[in-house]
Amino acid sequence: MQSVQKATVLLDEAIDTISPYLHGQFAEHLGELVYDGVWVGEDSPIANTGGIRNDVVEALRPLELPVLRWPGGCFADVYHWRDGVGPREQRPMRVNVHWGMAPEPNAFGTHEFIALCRLIGAEPYFAANVGSGSPQELQEWVEYCNFAGASTLADERRANGRDEPFNIKFWGIGNENWGCGGNMNPEYYADLFCRYRTYAYQYPGSEVFAIASGPLGGDWGWTRRFFERACNSYWDRRKLVQGFAAHYYCGTAGTSATEYTPDEWLELLAKARAVEGVIVGHRAIMDEFDPQRRIKLFLDEWGAWHPVEPGKPMGGLYQQNTMRDALVAAISLDVFNRHADKLHMANIAQVVNVLQALLLTDGDRCIKTPTYHVFDLYRPHRGATAVRLVTESEPISDGGASAEDCRKCYLDTDADITLKALEASASIKDGVLCVTACNTHPTEPIEMELAVPGAKLGEIELVILAGADYLAHNTFERPEAVTLSAPQAVSAKGDTARIDVPPASVVRIRAGLT
Ligand code: AHR
C-alpha cells in the first residue's frame, strides 16, 4: 500500500508576491553556452536570426523567462565590454582564462546579447567587471547602454545599430569577488563596491539597481563583514546597495550525472533542500543591517554541478540532466516560494549546455532537459501570492555523510532543511490555487492528501513530470523520454483531494477555490 503524505494549505497565511525573477537564468561565456549553444553566426548552416540559433529561441520563448544574467560568472571580471561592440571583424580575440583557455572572439557582445534577450522576451542583467576593470569602464558601459541624450558614447551605440537606450536596470558589481573576482576580503570589496556603484549613474529615464557580490553558500563571515563595512564606516553607505547576491551549488552525489544509486539520488536532493539554510541565514544577517528589508536577496547562481560529460572538455562544464536534476530544480523553486518576502531573484546555472541547463545542443540538434520542464510547470507561481503550505510528511533522508558535511555549514540557522518524502509549495492568483510538489522517493509512489481548510475545491487539474524511472533523461536520440503529461482531471471532496504521485516525480495541481 502506498504511503499517505499530507499537505495543508493555510490560506490565511500569505507570504508575499512571488517575484517572477525567481525563475531567472544565467548565460556565461563558458564552454558551449554562447558559442555553438546560442551564437552560430549569420553564415552558419544552422538556422539563425542575426546569428542566434532559431531552435534555441523557439524552445526558450514559450517559457517567458523573466531575466538573463550575462556575461559571467568568473568571466565577468575579465570581460571588457568594449571588446564586444562595433564591427565584428575588428573585435579582438581574447583567451577565456577561467574556462579552458578557450578562444574568445567577442562576436557575441552587448548588442548580440540584447538581441537574444529580445528574441526570448527576457530582461537583461549585466555583471560588471570589478576584478580587472575600472570605475570608468563601468561608468562608460552604463552610459553607452542607458543614455538617451547627446554624448559620444550614446552616439557610438547609435552607430552600432541601436537608437534607443537599452535601459539596463540590473547591474551586478563584480562576481564572486572573494575568489575568481579578485580574491578580495569583504571589507576591501565593500569599499570597491561603493566606489564602482557611485559611477553607475542613473541617467534620465533609466533605473539602476546595483547588486553586490555575496558569498558561496553559508559563508556568513563574508556577508556580515560586507554589511558592517558598508554601514559602519565613515559614511553609512548601505543606500548604495539595492541587492545582495549569494551563490549556492548543491553539487553532485556519486560519480556521474546519469548513473547513480537510490542513495545518491537522495543525497543530492537533501543537498538541494539545504538551500533553505542559505536563504534563512542570509535573511537573518541582512535583517540586522536592513530591518526595513529594503535590500533584496538574490541567489545569482544555483543548481547541480556534476562531473563533466565523458568526451567533453573539462573546462566546458557540459553535463547531462535527469529526473534527479528536475527534482533539484523543483525542490529549490518550492523553497524560493516560501521566501517570497525576501528573495527577489534566483538564476539557475546555466541556460544552455553548461551545468544544470534547460537546453542541450549538439550540432544542429537541440533538446529540452527535465529541468526545462520544471520551469514550464512552475510558471503559474510567477506573480502569484505565496501562501504557507505545511506537510505532515516523514523525513526521507539526511542525505548521508556528504550531505551532512554540507548541512554543517547551515546548522547555525533555525531552518528545517530535512528532505521529506513530499516537498511542496503553494500560491494563489486570481482565485486559483497552484500547488507544486515532488515525490522525492526514487522508487515508491505516494498518495498526497491535499487539504485547503476553509475552501471548497472545484475540479482539479493535475500535470505530472516523470520518466520511466528515477534515472530517466532526454537524449538526442530520445528527446521526449521525459516530458509533461497532458492535464488530467482529479475530483475533490469538499476541502480535500487525494492525488497519486508517482515515484521520482514533480506534479502541479491547480484548483479554483470557492
Ligand atoms: O557557473 C560557473 C561558475 O561558478 C561561475 O563562473 C562562477 O561564478 C561560479 O563559481
* Statement to judge: residues 287 and 317 lie in one domain: yes
Nearest CA to ligand 1 atom 8: 73
Closest residue by Cα to residue 482 from 495, 501, 500, 469: 469
Closest residue by Cα to residue 35 from 16, 21, 48, 22: 48
Strand partners, 155: none
Q: How far apart are the C-alpha atoms of 456 and 234, rounded to whole Å?
A: 58
Q: Could you tell me which residue, 113 or 234, shows the higher pLDDT?
A: 113
Is the CB of residue 65 less than 8 Å from the CB of residue 55? no
* Statement to judge: residues 329 and 280 lie in one domain: yes
* Statement to judge: residues 36 and 127 lie in one domain: yes
Within a domain: 147: no
Q: Which of 359, 384, 409 corresponds to the end of one domain? A: 384
CATH code of residue 420: 2.60.40.1180
Instruction: Please determine, for residue 498, whether its predicted confidence score (pLDDT) is greater than 90.
Output: yes
Beta strands at 243-251 and 209-216: parallel, antiparallel or unpaired? parallel
For range 497-511, the mean pLDDT: 97
CATH code of residue 347: 3.20.20.80
Which atom, in ligand 1's list, is nearest to the CA of 300? 8
Within a domain: 26: yes
- Residue-wise pLDDT for 312-361, tens only, equals 999 999 999 999 999 999 999 999 999 999 999 999 999 999 999 999 99
Closest residue by Cα to residue 268 from 319, 326, 333: 326
Which atom, in ligand 1's list, is nearest to the CA of 181? 8
* Statement to judge: residues 315 and 408 lie in one domain: no
* Statement to judge: residues 373 and 455 lie in one domain: no
Instruction: Please determine, for residue 401, whether its predicted confidence score (pLDDT) is greater than 60.
Output: no
For range 242-248, the mean pLDDT: 97
Q: Which of 104, 140, 143, 176 is catalytic?
A: 176
- Predicted confidence at residue 404, as pLDDT, reads 63
> pLDDT-derived band of residue 232, with 50, 70 and 90 as boundaries?
confident
Instruction: Please determine, for residue 48, whether its predicted confidence score (pLDDT) is greater than 80.
Output: yes
Within a domain: 237: yes
For range 437-452, the mean pLDDT: 96
How far away, in angstroms, is 75 Cα from ligand 1 center? 8
* Statement to judge: residues 396 and 326 lie in one domain: no
8-state DSSP, 21:
G
- Predicted confidence at residue 413, as pLDDT, reads 67
Instruction: Please determine, for residue 303, whether its predicted confidence score (pLDDT) is greater than 90.
Output: yes
How far away, in angstroms, is 30 Cα from ligand 1 center? 9
> pLDDT-derived band of residue 398, with 50, 70 and 90 as boundaries?
low
* Statement to judge: residues 433 and 369 lie in one domain: no
Average pLDDT, the chain: 95
How far away, in angstroms, is 190 Cα from ligand 1 center? 20
For range 217-229, the mean pLDDT: 94
Within a domain: 142: no
b/e 450-485 (16+ beta carbons within 10 angstroms → b): bbbeebebbebbbbbbbbeebebbbeeeeeebbbbe
| Region at 205 (left for phi over 0; alpha for psi -120 to 50; beta for the rest) | left
For range 215-243, the mean pLDDT: 93
Instruction: Please determine, for residue 410, whether its predicted confidence score (pLDDT) is greater than 90.
Output: no
How far away, in angstroms, is 351 Cα from ligand 1 center? 13
Within a domain: 396: yes
* Statement to judge: residues 241 and 262 lie in one domain: yes
Which atom, in ligand 1's list, is nearest to the CA of 249? 4
Nearest CA to ligand 1 atom 5: 73
How far away, in angstroms, is 291 Cα from ligand 1 center? 30
Within a domain: 153: no
Question: Domain of 198?
Answer: 18-137+164-384
Nearest CA to ligand 1 atom 3: 73
Strand partners, 249: 303
Which residue out of 26, 28, 104 has the highest number of ligand 1 atoms within 8 Å of its CB and is therefore the one to mutate?
28
Which residue out of 32, 33, 74, 98 has the highest number of ligand 1 atoms within 8 Å of its CB and is therefore the one to mutate?
74
- Predicted confidence at residue 417, as pLDDT, reads 81
Q: Which of 319, 349, 384 corresponds to the end of one domain? A: 384
Which atom, in ligand 1's list, is nearest to the CA of 317? 2
Instruction: Please determine, for residue 403, whether its predicted confidence score (pLDDT) is greater than 90.
Output: no
Is the CB of residue 334 less than 8 Å from the CB of residue 425? yes
Is the CB of residue 505 less than 8 Å from the CB of residue 439? yes
Q: Which of 360, 384, 408 corresponds to the end of one domain? A: 384
Nearest CA to ligand 1 atom 6: 73
> pLDDT-derived band of residue 110, with 50, 70 and 90 as boundaries?
very high
* Statement to judge: residues 348 and 406 lie in one domain: no
Closest residue by Cα to residue 190 from 238, 143, 146: 238
Instruction: Please determine, for residue 169, whether its predicted confidence score (pLDDT) is greater than 70.
Output: yes
Listing DSSP states for 27-67 in one string gives --S-TTSTBTTTB--TT-SS-EETTEEHHHHHHHGGG---E
**Domains in the chain, number:** 2
Within a domain: 128: yes
How crowded is residue 10: how many other Cβ atoms within 10 Å of its Cβ?
15
- Predicted confidence at residue 409, as pLDDT, reads 59
Annotation says 301 is catalytic: yes
- Residue-wise pLDDT for 180-218, tens only, equals 999 999 999 999 999 999 999 999 999 999 999 999 998
* Statement to judge: residues 102 and 224 lie in one domain: yes
How far away, in angstroms, is 217 Cα from ligand 1 center? 13
How many residues in total does the chain contain?
514
Pocket of ligand 1, beta carbon within 6 A: 28, 72-74, 175-176, 301, 349-350, 355
How far away, in angstroms, is 340 Cα from ligand 1 center? 25
Q: What percent of the chain has pLDDT over 70?
A: 96
Nearest CA to ligand 1 atom 9: 73
Q: How far apart are the C-alpha atoms of 275 and 83, rounded to whole Å?
A: 37
* Statement to judge: residues 281 and 236 lie in one domain: yes
* Statement to judge: residues 225 and 271 lie in one domain: yes
Nearest CA to ligand 1 atom 2: 73
Within a domain: 479: yes
- Predicted confidence at residue 406, as pLDDT, reads 58
